[in-house]
Amino acid sequence: MSSSDGEEEESKDTIIPLENVYSLVQDSQSLEPLLWQQFYDRLEWFGEIPIVSSGASGLVIVALHGAGGSSMTFAIIAKLLRENYHFFSFDFGCHGINRKTDEEKLDVDSLVNEALSVLNYIRQQNPDSKIIIIGHSMGGAIASKAALLYQAQGYKVSGIILIDMVEGRAFEAFSNNEARINRMPKSFDLIKDAVLWSLESQVLKNVESARISIPSQLIEINGKWEWKVDLLKTRKFWEGWFSGMNGACLAVDAPKLLIMSNSDRLDDQMTYAWHQGKIKHRIINYVGHWIHEDSPIKFVEELDRFFSMFKFK
């Protein structure tokens, strides 16, 4: 891992080299799905929204997943943080086990309102706790906008953390994302086939992460396992998700951290904000877009560094 100021540290995470992926085919047990109970302590329903959590006291952390993902993308993070923090995540509509199935409700307003309702619910359950909001990719855009509305309601956000996405880079990546989605298999015979594909294609580089997060993104239809969310059908919502993301984030009156997979992930606006000291910026190397899944130990180290810096603990 290296930080934005050039520090170098050796990663402790188990990131599997591509040449070792193929040995997993010989050991099918190593690709079997893992259970949410191995990572989270509780599952509760807030209407149609499933909320999972770990830990029972301390700083409250609410994590928002990216498009196509689920709360299980944060499963290892939840396990690593459970001793010292109260960690929450939830599935957006049409994702994971959320009971909402209307894909027309994946527009920015629907997602922001869903996130805001969860934030208010968690605050009511933990009225004396500070709240940190984390968002990955689309989840980062929604986190920024929900945090700003939460602040406008008169409540305090203690910090906001964005993972590997800012507004300018999101818009630049739209065409590449469409091509990438078109290359994805549409279905699999077995769940473990999807897990193996995620590792072979280097979508994920951590076997444990793949075994808990990939199964949560699939649904069985006519004997085949297909993606729950058709990402190409969400294309019409992408501009709405990311437009105004940077401005919303910067308008939240709280410390901010961007965790990126490389220095090129910042756009001009956020680079300027970083130079002005308005945001903190850290880089974790040897990972893909799903930083917190590929390198969860280093990711948690960056969270601890950020929390200690601003004395959140």
Catalytic: which of 65, 91, 110, 164? 164
String of DSSP letters for 128-183: TS-EEEEEETHHHHHHHHHHHHHHHTT----EEEEES--HHHHHHTHHHHHHHHHH
* DSSP code at position 32: S
Instruction: Respond yes or no: is residue 137 known to be catalytic.
Output: yes
Catalytic status, residue 136:
no
Q: Is 102 noted as a catalytic residue in this protein?
A: no
Beta-bridge mates of residue 51: 44, 90
Helix (H, G, I), strand (E, B) or coil at 292: helix
CA 209, 210, 215 angle in degrees (round to 5)? Answer: 115
Block residue for tokens 């904000």 = 273
Q: How many CB atoms lie within 10 A of CB 110?
A: 18
Q: Which residues of 137-165 are buried (b: 16+ CB within 10 A; e: fewer)?
A: bbbbbbbbbbbbbbbeeeeebbbbbbbbb
Residue with tokens 């649904």: 219
- Active site residue: 289, 292, 294, 295, which one? 289
- Packing angle between helix 138-152 and helix 108-125, nearest 10 degrees? 60
The DSSP result for 57-95, as a single string, is SSSEEEEE--TT--GGGGHHHHHHHTTT-EEEEEPPTTS
Alpha carbon separation from 11 to 14, 83, 295 (Å, rounded): 8, 22, 8
> Residue 53: phi, psi to the nearest 5?
-150, 160
Catalytic one of 137, 216, 261, 295: 137
Q: Which residues are catalytic?
A: 137, 164, 289
